Amino acid sequence: MAADKKKRGNEEPEDRKSSGPRGRKNFNDDGDQEPTTVFDLSSHETDEEPAEEVVAEDVVVEEEEPEVLETDLDAPDEELTLSAEDAALLDQAAADIVAEMRSDMLRAQAELVNFRTRVERDRVANRESVIAEVIRSLLPAIDDLSRAEKHGDLEGSPLALVANKLRATFERYGVREVGVSGEPFDPSLHEAVIQIPSADVTVNTVADVLETGYALGERLIRAAKVTVSVPE
């Protein structure tokens, strides 16, 4: 009997073997139940299903079509009629506008002509200024040649050709000599070096030219140095 009890004690019932870890009971060699600690191995965590993504449906807004006003295209246009007074006012306004535009045009043309004249005058003045400076630098040489010519030193010499070429150049650029014996004395053109009383003159007169002067157009390059005969 003892052997059968021991055998039964070693055999574990089928329902106990098949039972899982939850509620498992342990038996000792004598077949008595031993106190056991039961662990609940089941997971208490619950898998939460992800919330479904809510997709907002596209809202279609219907645009209102603009209201089309029906007009009678075949209707004739109303003729605009002006009174005689209004027509006269319009004609006068048009005439005033034309007169004003004509005045502006004439003023612009006059300004253009004045501008061209001023530019041309300045161009000529600048040209004369440059030529005058060149002539002024050559005056000492021409003075020496003129003195040598008065003494007869240039006759038959190559320097006579040089003097003639210089004078021809002066004439080509419009340079003229100032100061001639017998002409009235002009302070703007002559520089009086000596005054000689004379009974033969009634006004101040150039008696002799000591140094010839030169002018370019209205520009005086150098005044002539002269002796002046004055009335007694």
Determine the pLDDT at residue 138: 92
* Residues 152, 159: Cα–Cα separation, whole Å: 11
Buried/exposed code over 141-156 (b: 16+ C-beta within 10 A; e: otherwise): ebeebbebeeeeebee
Buried b (16+ CB within 10 A) or exposed e, 159-198: eeeebeebeeebeeeebeebbeeeeebeeebbebeeeeee
pLDDT per residue as tens digits for the range 82-138? 788 888 888 889 998 999 999 999 999 999 999 999 999 999 888 888 989 999 999
Q: What is the pLDDT of residue 184?
A: 94
In which band, very low, low, confident or very high, does the pLDDT at 154 lie, cut at 50, 70 and 90? confident
- Gap between the Cα atoms of 59 and 178, Å rounded: 106
Beta-bridge partner residues of 26: 34
How far apart are alpha carbons 189 and 219 in whole angstroms?
10
The superfamily CATH assigns to domain 175-232 is Head domain of nucleotide exchange factor GrpE (2.30.22.10)
CA gap 230, 197 in Å, rounded = 5
Helices 84-150, 158-172: inter-axial angle, 10-degree rounding? 170
Q: Which helix (H) or strand (E) holds 124?
A: helix 84-150
| Residue-range domain boundaries for the chain | 175-232
Q: Which amino acid is at 185?
A: F
Instruction: Find how far residue 167's CA is from the centre of its chain.
Output: 51
- The pTM score is 0.51
